[in-house]
Amino acid sequence: MMFLKVRRFPRLHTEKPHGSQLDLNQPGTGNRPWFWYDPRVKRVRLALLLFLASFSHAQTLEDAVKILAQRVLAKLALNDSAHVTMRNLTTVSAADAAQAQQAFERLLQRKARNPMPVEVVLSLSSNPRGYLLIAEVSPPNEPKLVELTTFQPPQLPTTGAVVLEKKLEWKQPVPILDLVVTGDQMIVLSPGNLFRYERLNGEWQRVESAALPSPPLRDPRGRLDVSAEIIQAAMPDSVCKTPRSGVLEFKCDPGGGFSAASNTLQAENGPPYFAEASAGPIHLIAELDGRIHVYDPSRKPLGAFDGWGSDFVALESPCGTRFAATSASSRTQNDSIAAYDIVNNLPVRVSDQQEFPGPVTALWSSQKMALAVVKNLATGLYEAYTLSMACNR
């Protein structure tokens, strides 16, 4: 056995800075030996940190998020409030990266009387040894702190139980709240207006429009219900109806289910929510805490989970009913929709992700079909896609 003689260095009598010794950018102060701050060894320190990280291996990205959040939380002051941004420098999907960011933010949340914002950059990166999850913490007027750990990237399914298929139906410069195609007629609901189109010579031609009440909202919501006799438009704080035949003349009453104050749906004798859907005995509700809550048919709570956006629907197919859900990406990122089963009250993806050229702004279903409205980030146009689900053979 070999013993190493350790030379002890005197402590420096200075105040210890905010955070930990994992500062890769500032020389710092504190009870560390003088050579720790020599600029010539910064690269050596970073290489050593990356080497040591390979021995603190987290099996999954979810594990890595939990480990890293614990380390970062230990470095934050009691009144620090973390604001997390994500950088994905790997092949990890945007949906998995957004889910990691959402879970990381939730783990860093804590109540503070006088919260002080602290910027935290969460990065997905890699080196020859594997994948890295890195957190860079920037306390105000103090050295930057860096924590990291390793993980195995999520394994994407090579085949799924079902296939999601999409078809572009319509696009326009103003927002689309809902859209219904029946035969040679198309009805488009937008904030403050309803448009009726007819198919002439293979193209949609606008033949009529009508004004609707529309409170000034950043992200208005609305829903169409079209029958053979009636067109009904549910808008924030109002519901409007008109006969389908003849001139569009809407009569509006209070109601509609959408709240203008909170941009949510309101169930009768129940709390507000963002979305709900049922498949078999499972009922899901996107509640105001940002989580998807799972209930049985009697509305008994079974659990809750993260990782989805606030829009999801139930879609039918010959191989069963599944949930189709958006990812947890932001309004400034491309979005995706995938099909899921709920197993042990947690989502299990059963299809590849359908990618879209921008955020999904609305997602509605009608049994075997769904409508996804996307704001194309490249063109600025709003695009309406129909979604269907087929069995993967």
Residue 139's pLDDT is: 87
Residue 39's pLDDT is: 46
- The answer to whether position 227 is within a domain reads no
- What element of type H or E holds 72? helix 61-75
For residues 387 and 338, membership in a common domain is answered with yes
136-183 pLDDT per residue, tens: 999 888 888 999 999 887 654 444 678 999 999 999 999 999 999 998
For residues 168 and 288, membership in a common domain is answered with yes
For residues 170 and 301, membership in a common domain is answered with yes
For residues 181 and 86, membership in a common domain is answered with no
Rounded Cα gap, residues 139 and 19, in angstroms:
8
For residues 292 and 272, membership in a common domain is answered with yes
Number of domains forming the structure of the chain: 2
For residues 181 and 321, membership in a common domain is answered with yes
- The answer to whether position 320 is within a domain reads yes
Look at residue 324 and give its three-state secondary structure.
strand
- The answer to whether position 26 is within a domain reads no
- The answer to whether position 54 is within a domain reads yes
For residues 146 and 172, membership in a common domain is answered with no
- How would you class 338 by CB atoms within 10 Å of its CB: exposed for 0-12, middle for 13-18, buried for 19 or more? buried
Which pair of tokens denotes residue 184?
A: 């040679």
For residues 187 and 41, membership in a common domain is answered with no
Contacts of 226 (CB under 8 A, 6+ apart): 180, 182, 187, 232, 244
Residue 55's pLDDT is: 45
303-362 pLDDT per residue, tens: 898 889 989 999 998 888 999 999 988 888 999 999 999 887 888 889 989 999 999 999
For residues 144 and 173, membership in a common domain is answered with no
For residues 301 and 179, membership in a common domain is answered with yes
Residue 31's pLDDT is: 41
- The answer to whether position 200 is within a domain reads yes
- The answer to whether position 377 is within a domain reads yes
Residues of the chain with pLDDT under 70: 1-58, 128-129, 154-160, 267-269, 367, 393
- If one counts every other C-beta atom within 10 angstroms of the C-beta of residue 196, the result is 16
For residues 61 and 174, membership in a common domain is answered with no
Residue 154's pLDDT is: 65
Domain that holds residue 70: 34-151
Average pLDDT of the chain, as a whole number: 82
For residues 307 and 379, membership in a common domain is answered with yes
Which one of 117, 151, 185 terminates a domain?
151
Which pair of tokens denotes residue 383?
A: 């695009």
Contacts of 77 (CB under 8 A, 6+ apart): 18, 116, 139
pTM of this structure: 0.63
